[in-house]
Structure 1
Amino acid sequence: MAIYTALSLLVMVLIPSAIAKDTPMTNQTINNAIGEMQRANYFAFVMLLNMVSTDKIPSNITFLMPNNRLLAKAVIPENDVLDFLLRHSIPTPLRFDYLKRFPTGSVIPSSDPGFMLKVFNNGRKSFFLNNVKLISPDICVAGSSVRCHGIDGVLTLQDTSIPPSLPVPTNTSSSPPSPMAPPPSLPPTAFAPAATPQPAGPHKSGSYRLGSEWSLIGYMSNWVLLSIVWCYL
């Protein structure tokens, strides 16, 4: 009960500043990011962005972009485009230098509140979110509110077991493999592994659904961690 109270107080303190940052994306900001995506040949992802009203996209965001070939094979109904984009994004701008400090076993909330991203970190050449590999880091770097990375798959509500190319971790609470410590302005606790929310009952494979009080605490703690990271960026 004491833990629940302390976490609630922490959330109450941090949410107002986070909400202030969660303003709609401006046309200039998204156009700058789109230009970087087009130069990297992510035209299909740009097409999806153009199908969604700019004011529905948070101003601070990290996009996870499948390439043209993968999106050409994906079936995305027009009324599901926004959900697809939210599932393929993180609600704070993170360059790969920050992402790579999350150790294997960490859980990062996507911009879709019902979909979580589990980290499998074996360095720059083998970094997975769920079972999808990040292959082209730091495509969007202009400005301060949008980041984007290329990935080699489409994030779906599917199995999130450890990818075959990664060894089974023996200690998911170990320090990140990168020897580089966080910059002095970033609190080291911001990159501590987050507890994986436990589902309350049967669920679709790969979906981290929040079904109990403690699951909610786990989700909110991850959201708070990302809020802390953004406040110090």
Structure 2
Amino acid sequence: MQKANHFTFVMLINMAPPDQIPQNITFLMPNDRTLSKTNMAETSILDFLLQHSIPSPLLIDHLQHFPTGSMIPTSRPGLMLKVTNDGRRSFFLNNVRIISPNICTKGFSIRCHGIDGVVQPTMIPQPNIPPTLTTCPNTSTSPPWVAAAPLPDPAPRPVAVLTAPPPSVSPTKSSSPRIILDLAMTFLMLSLWLFI
């Protein structure tokens, strides 16, 4: 790691509580120069590491299977990485490009990739669910709440037409192994049923 210019990131990993870092993980590691320009409180080291990791050990060959627009969760709940995949030399996760793929590959549980900046993660959008009850602004004889308007019915779906499979080209012979197997299974099930 030190040769790859990621010594500071390794020091941050060593400072984090070991029980808070997942065992199977991919780290996205900014280089030492980038980290020296980053302001970070000691209490936010774990959040920084989780924001710069994926909760699964992925080599660059695995990551390249994600098409552009895919969203990959970070180890920090609620934060995502959006993939821009223009090939091995131009693979982006949000605002950062992987510039040193597969820095650490020993073992099966940890993978590391060097990146060219600090990840600015994307928040998972929360669904905008309208409330079912709203308050009434006046205090007249009407009830204190009013039911919200019902949601429109979804568009009808086309009905699937089921057809029978085409007839077999050659009829099954009575001595075929399939019929013998079916008869044997039926006899076995009947025998078990009678003796229970």
TM-score range relative to shorter protein: 0.5 to 0.7
Does 2:5 correspond to 1:41?
Answer: yes
User: How many residues are paired up?
Assistant: 129
Q: 1:123 aligns with which of 87, 99, 116?
A: 87
- The SS at the match of 1:102 is coil
Please give the root-mean-square deviation of Cα atoms over the aligned residues, in Å: 1.5
2:11 counterpart of 1:96: no
Shift of 1:51: 1.1
For 1:38, what is the secondary structure of its paired residue?
coil
> Normalising by structure 2, what TM-score?
0.63
Q: Is 1:143–2:107 an aligned residue pair?
A: yes
Show the 5 A alignment for 1:27-66.
37-66=1-30
Quote how far apart the aligned CAs of 1:143 are: 0.2
Cα distance in structure 2, aligned partners of 1:106 and 1:133: 15
Q: Distance in 1 between matches of 2:39 and 2:59?
A: 29
Q: Which has the larger radius of gyration?
A: 2
- Structure 1 position 66, deviation (Å): 0.1
After superposition, residues 69-218 of structure 1 pair within 5 angstroms as: 69-157=33-121, 207-212=122-127
What is the rounded CA distance, in whole Å, between the counterparts of 1:41 and 1:131 in structure 2?
20
Secondary structure, in 3 states, of the residue corresponding to 1:113? coil
The unaligned stretches of length 5 or more in structure 1 are: 1-36, 158-206, 215-233
Identity %: 60
Shift of 1:209: 3.0
- What is the rounded CA distance, in whole Å, between the counterparts of 2:57 and 2:3 in structure 1? 20
Could you say what secondary structure the match of 1:133 adopts? strand
Higher relative strand content: 2
**Aligned equivalent of 2:155:** none
1:106 and 1:84 map into 2 onto residues whose CA distance is: 22
Higher helix share: 1
Query: Are residues 213 and 91 of structure 1, via their aligned partners in 2, closer, same or farther at CA, if it must alter by over 3 Å?
Result: farther
TM-score (norm 1): 0.53
Using the TM superposition, give the Cα deviation of residue 156 of structure 1 relative to its aligned residue in structure 2, in angstroms. 2.3
Counterparts of 1:74 and 1:88, CA distance in 2: 14
Unaligned runs of 5+ in 2: 130-196
Q: 1:213 Cα shift?
A: 7.8
Q: After TM superposition, which residue ranges in structure 1, 4 or more long, deviate above 3 angstroms?
A: none
User: Distance in 2 between the 1:79 and 1:209 partners?
Assistant: 23
Whole-Å Cα distance in 2 between the matches of residues 132 and 80 of structure 1? 20
Which amino acid in structure 1 is aligned with residue 126 of structure 2? G
Distance 1:108 1:80 in 2: 22
